Amino acid sequence: MITVDEKIDVFTKIVLDRLEESYSVKISELDEETFEAVKEYEEKLKEKSRKFIEVHEENAQGDARKKISKVLSGVRTQMLRLKHDIVLELCDALKARVNEFRKTPEYLEFLKQRIHKSVDELNKFTSIEVEILEEDYSRFGEVLASEIKMQGFDPAKVKWAPVKKGIMGGLIFYNGERTLKLDGSFDILLEDAEVVMGQLVAELLEERGEADA
């Protein structure tokens, strides 16, 4: 049986594959711009070398190199902006996937898994407060309350705190004083995913030799 985490992994790969094609097209365009810019300044350098006397030749070459460096620096800036845009697009795609996933039967199993994976830490709490979206609580509140009871927790010491917004889904556990927090929400998963995707895009840029040093 394919687990929820495996399904998310498969989806992420699909998103990455889809965007990589768009990414490659944009990279190629920038590569062409870089080549043309260098070519243009190389021609200018040759022209200056022919026109200027030997004593001025070194200054002319230095000036051209600065111009080329400026152009290449501009291209690197565009590449970094491209990285930012790609990561944002990936994150938006994952957020859309989360909203779709919350409508599936598998979402309830995901919420149960959040409880199961948190049992050891929750046993350290004298009382528990569970933050959950109101929509999720209205659909799954009774089932989840029963699930947490089955894990050995006294229902009298478990408080459910439905919220209208603030999280994208999942569960966030607090101790009674709210001094300890155990985050099992989609938000923390998306934050981790954003870091990973940023690293991936940066590696792709470095492979092209365009990443900022």
pTM score, whole prediction = 0.56
CA torsion angle 159 162 165 167 (round to 10): 50
Q: 75 with 33: CB under 8 angstroms?
A: yes
Same domain (yes/no): 95, 127: no
Same domain? For 87 and 121 the reply is no
Q: Are residues 12 and 91 located together in one domain of the fold?
A: yes
Per the structure, the count of domains in the chain is 2
**Four-CA torsion 37, 38, 44, 47, nearest 10 degrees:** -150
Residue 12 lies in a domain: yes
What phi and psi values does residue 8 have, to the nearest 5 degrees?
-65, -40
**pLDDT per residue of the chain (213 residues) written in tens, 0 to 9:** 545 455 455 555 555 555 555 555 554 554 454 445 445 545 655 555 455 445 455 555 566 566 666 655 665 666 666 666 777 777 787 888 888 989 998 999 999 999 999 999 999 999 999 999 999 999 999 999 999 999 999 999 999 999 998 899 999 999 989 999 999 898 888 887 777 777 777 776 666 554 444
Same domain, 79 and 162: no
* CATH number for the domain harbouring residue 125: 3.40.30
Does residue 185 fall inside a structural domain? Answer: no
Boundaries of domain holding 119 = 106-179
Do residues 75 and 157 both lie within one domain? no
